[in-house]
Amino acid sequence: MMLKGRTALVTGGTRGIGRAIAERLLREGVVVAICGRSSASVERAVEELASSGGGKIYGTQADIASVNDVRQLFAFADRELGGTDILINNAGVAVLRHIAEMSPEQWERTIAVNLTGVFHCCREAVAQFRRRGGGFIINIGSLLGKTAVTGGAAYCASKFGLNGLSEAMLLDCRHENIGVCTIVPGSVNTELFGTPAGADWKIQPDDVAQVVVTVLEMPQRTLVSRVEMRPLRPPQ
Ligand SMILES: NC(=O)c1ccc[n+]([C@@H]2O[C@H](COP(=O)([O-])OP(=O)(O)OC[C@H]3O[C@@H](n4cnc5c(N)ncnc54)[C@H](OP(=O)(O)O)[C@@H]3O)[C@@H](O)[C@H]2O)c1
């Protein structure tokens, strides 16, 4: 699709990968809305993104685990952007803990954000895309949705589940001019897992953003439905 003048909703655009995607889309002439759980971090990110020289950026507080917040988020995008052409399901949380030490709350929260939250957003987006004649959803999955790691019961379950959601949704939607792609990165240089960002060997958030733009810009006849990304040279 031609990106200039399109509208995009990026969940969790206050930092990390979502922030880089928002910044890159703005540079491509897309009108972007972001969300995050705290108003203060959304406001700060919107201010910084606005001064980075891109196009029009909007933001609102929304917890994607809440079906009500998600309804309001899409209503906000309707109002401010005039509707949504592209949904980037990026918001996510991670807890790595031995199964015996993982609390039910940690399990439930991880699934609620990383899997059910994506469902809430897709459901709203697809209803809107139908009215607009099409649209595109990119889900940010993880290589930990393909290969398990120690301590990853909740996170891996959420990302394994996201693959199933994405693949089934693709089949539901492909004849309605709605594309679905899952981008599946390995280690990205953010603070998601509680380690400070700064590792040069990791995939950088901008690299994921570059793939987002490439996927969206493919000719209309071709859908890139899954992209796996890995650091070329992880520590041995
Ligand atoms: N970093 C990696 O190595 C890696 C690898 C593969 C995949 N991923 C995936 O990439 C995505 C982004 O991760 P990241 O590394 O950029 O993490 P991050 O730096 O921690 O950023 C997470 C973003 O999600 C937002 N967020 C979290 N929970 C939310 C909720 N319930 N509702 C709305 N927004 C929420 C956060 O904003 P607030 O805190 O303001 O709410 C923040 O903007 C996640 O889906 C993650 O699973 C990351």
Tens-place pLDDT, residues 74-85: 999 999 999 999
Q: Tokens for 138?
A: 């990119």
The residue whose C-alpha atom lies closest to atom 46 belonging to ligand 1 is 92
> Considering the domain 7-229 in this protein, what is its CATH number?
3.40.50.720
pLDDT, tens digit (0-9, with 9 covering 90-100), for 214-228: 999 999 999 999 999
Cα of 113 vs centre of ligand 1, distance in Å, is 10
What strands, in cross-sheet order, belong to the sheet with 7-11?
Answer: 57-61, 31-36, 7-11, 86-89, 135-140, 178-185, 226-229
Q: Quick check: CB of 115 below 6 Å from ligand 1?
A: no
> What's the average model confidence in pLDDT over 167-180?
97
Q: What per-residue confidence (pLDDT) applies to 236?
A: 87
Residue 78's alpha-carbon distances to 58, 85, 125, in angstroms, are 12, 11, 11
Q: Quick check: CB of 158 below 6 Å from ligand 1?
A: no
Cα of 42 vs centre of ligand 1, distance in Å, is 13
Residue 180's alpha-carbon distances to 62, 110, 139, 198, in angstroms, are 23, 22, 8, 31
Choosing from 190, 191, 193 the residue with most ligand 1 atoms within 8 A of its CB, the one to mutate for a pocket test is: 190
Residues in the chain, total: 236
> What pTM was estimated for this model as a whole?
0.98
pLDDT, tens digit (0-9, with 9 covering 90-100), for 107-157: 999 999 999 999 999 999 999 999 999 999 999 999 999 999 999 999 999
pLDDT band at 53 (very low <50, low <70, confident <90, very high): confident
Q: What per-residue confidence (pLDDT) applies to 55?
A: 79
